């Protein structure tokens, strides 16, 4: 059973808190119970955002994929990239051909502007 206080707290915290924080804030409930209650209340978690790599074009591609709700695994499949986008935060060198394929697959285009 959930108390009114717990329900109110769950509505406020579920969107942004980590799984561990929620489990510690609701010690009477399991993670499954917390998730089920949130679903019944219609509360959703914040959507996933990729880590920054420090490479502007790669970061833009990863952010666009997240905005379109495309996982990095799916992006790898779409671009025939092996594990490139999934593991790109680990410091791999950018691959021009893969980046261009990803831009096209996500509905973008690369443009050169001369000064």
Q: Which two tokens stand for residue 75?
A: 């992006």
pLDDT at 91: 66
Task: Clarify whether residues 65 and 31 are in a common domain.
Answer: no
The Cα diameter of the chain in Å comes to: 65
Cα dist from 21 to 2, 33, 105, whole Å: 18, 15, 37
Task: Clarify whether residues 27 and 66 are in a common domain.
Answer: no
With a cut of 70, which residues of the chain have pLDDT below it? 90-92
What total number of domains does the chain contain? 2
**Rounded Cα distance, 22 and 9, in Å:** 10
In-domain check, residue 49: no
pLDDT at 86: 85
pLDDT in tens, 6-24: 999 999 999 888 899 999 9
Structural domain span for residue 76: 56-105
Task: Clarify whether residues 61 and 88 are in a common domain.
Answer: yes
Q: Which two tokens stand for residue 55?
A: 């490479």
């Amino acid at each position: 059973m959930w108390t009114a206080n717990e329900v109110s707290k769950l509505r406020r915290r579920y969107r942004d808190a980590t799984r561990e924080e929620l489990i510690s804030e609701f010690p009477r409930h399991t993670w499954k119970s917390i998730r089920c209650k949130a679903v019944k209340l219609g509360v959703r978690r914040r959507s996933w955002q990729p880590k920054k790599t420090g490479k502007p074009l790669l970061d833009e591609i990863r952010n666009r994929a997240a905005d379109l709700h495309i996982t990095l695994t799916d992006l790898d499949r779409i671009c025939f990239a092996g594990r490139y986008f999934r593991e790109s935060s680990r410091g791999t060198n950018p691959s021009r051909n893969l980046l261009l394929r990803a831009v096209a697959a996500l509905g973008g285009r690369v443009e050169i502007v001369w000064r």
